Amino acid sequence: MEKKKLLKYWKNNIIRDERILKVLEKVPRENFILEEHKDYAYVDEPLPILKGQTISQPTTVAFMTQALEPKKGQRILEIGAGSGYQAAILSEIVGTKGKIITVERIYELFEYAKDKLKDYSNVEVILGDGSKGYEKESPYDRIIVTAAAPNVPDPLFDQLKENGILLIPVGGGFFGQKMLRVKKIKGKKEAENLGSFIFVPLIGEFGFK
C-alpha cells in the first residue's frame, strides 16, 4: 500500500487531529525498518526488526498516537523503544519544548533505536526494564506502552501526572489483549477499553517474568 492511501484511510477512519496526520505524513517509516523490508514500509502490517521483535502495524501506531492525545510541550514516556518509529512521531508532536523518554530492555534494539533517533534532539533512549518506568524524569503527561502487560504496572501509574493518560495493552501472551486508556483522576485509575489488539509481551519485574 502506498503511503498516500494509508494517510487517506487514517483521515477517513481514525485521525481527527490534523496535526497528528501531518506528522504521520512527515515521519518516514522506511527509515526505521530493516533494509530488506523497505519495500514493505507502507504495507499495513507489522514487520520484524531485531531479536524477535516487530515494528507495529502502521494503523496501530496511528490509532495509539490518536488515543494518547499528545500535545505540544508535553513530557511523554514510551515503554518499548523498538525501532524508534513511535518515538519519532511523538517527538514531532511535542516539539522542542517537550521531551520523549523511551525505554528499551533489549540491548541490540536500544542501540538500533538510538541510531535511528539520533537526529531527534528531544528524545532520550534508555536501556532498562520498562515495566518499572523511568522515575528520574517523572512525572509524565503521557505514558505509552508498546507491549502487553498482565495488568497496569503500579510504577507506571505512579509516574503519571494527575489528569495524565496511560495507554497500555493488557492481557495474556500472544492471544490478544485489550487496549486500555487509563486516566489519573484524583489519584485513581479511570480505564476505558479501546478494543482488541495483539502485542508482544512486556517482559520485566512488573510485566511478564
Q: State the DSSP string of 52-75.
A: T-EEPPHHHHHHHHHHH---TT-E
Instruction: Tell me which of 56, 83, 91, 131 is the catalytic residue.
Output: 56
For position 20, what pLDDT does the model report?
A: 95
For position 37, what pLDDT does the model report?
A: 93
CA–CA distance, 194 with 191 (Å, rounded to integer): 10
**Catalytic: 91?**
no
For position 130, what pLDDT does the model report?
A: 97
For position 100, what pLDDT does the model report?
A: 98
pLDDT at 189 over 90: yes
Architecture of 3-197 per CATH?
3-Layer(aba) Sandwich (3.40)
pLDDT at 15 over 90: yes
Q: Would you call 75 exposed, middle or buried from its count of C-beta atoms within 10 A (0-12, 13-18, 19+)?
A: buried
Residue 209 or 161, more confident:
161
84-107 pLDDT per residue, tens = 999 999 999 999 999 999 999 999
Reduced to 3 states, what is the DSSP secondary structure of residue 183? strand
Q: What share of the chain has pLDDT > 70, as a percent?
A: 98
111-150 pLDDT per residue, tens = 999 999 999 999 999 999 999 999 999 999 999 999 999 9
CA–CA distance, 50 with 48 (Å, rounded to integer): 7
Instruction: Spell out the domain ranges in the chain.
Output: 3-197
pLDDT at 200 over 90: no
43-74 pLDDT per residue, tens = 999 999 988 888 999 999 999 999 999 999 99
CA–CA distance, 107 with 29 (Å, rounded to integer): 22
